Amino acid sequence: MLFKKHKSYREVIAICDTELLGKKFEEGEKNIEIKDHFFKGEEKTEEEILKEIEIASAEDSTFNIVGEKSIKTALKAGIIKENGITTIQEIPIALVLL
């Protein structure tokens, strides 16, 4: 999984499954492009990402999460629930504002 932290008035955290980087998904009116400049960060293990989520959650961060592994990790961390997940072409996506 890829993890990238963007600095803004609040931190924006991008987490995605590595194999999705550079791909675009469209379904009806919904679409998402997994752009390098936003999602290409450090390759991290699930344990490392769980720790990063814990730290970022305490800092009032926003999360953009894409892909099955990334979504499962976010569910495990408790920052999303099943009803907060949408899909585009069967790719799970969640946006979180804590």
Domain boundaries, the chain: 2-97
Three-class SS state of 3? strand
pLDDT at 19 over 80: yes
Q: What is the pTM of this model?
A: 0.94
Nearest in space to 25 (alpha carbons), one of 95, 97, 96, 86: 86
Nearest in space to 57 (alpha carbons), one of 68, 41, 43, 73: 73
Are 62 and 13 in contact by the 8 Å Cβ rule? The answer is yes
Class of domain 2-97: alpha beta
59 pLDDT band (50/70/90 cuts)? Answer: confident
Are 96 and 63 in contact by the 8 Å Cβ rule? The answer is yes
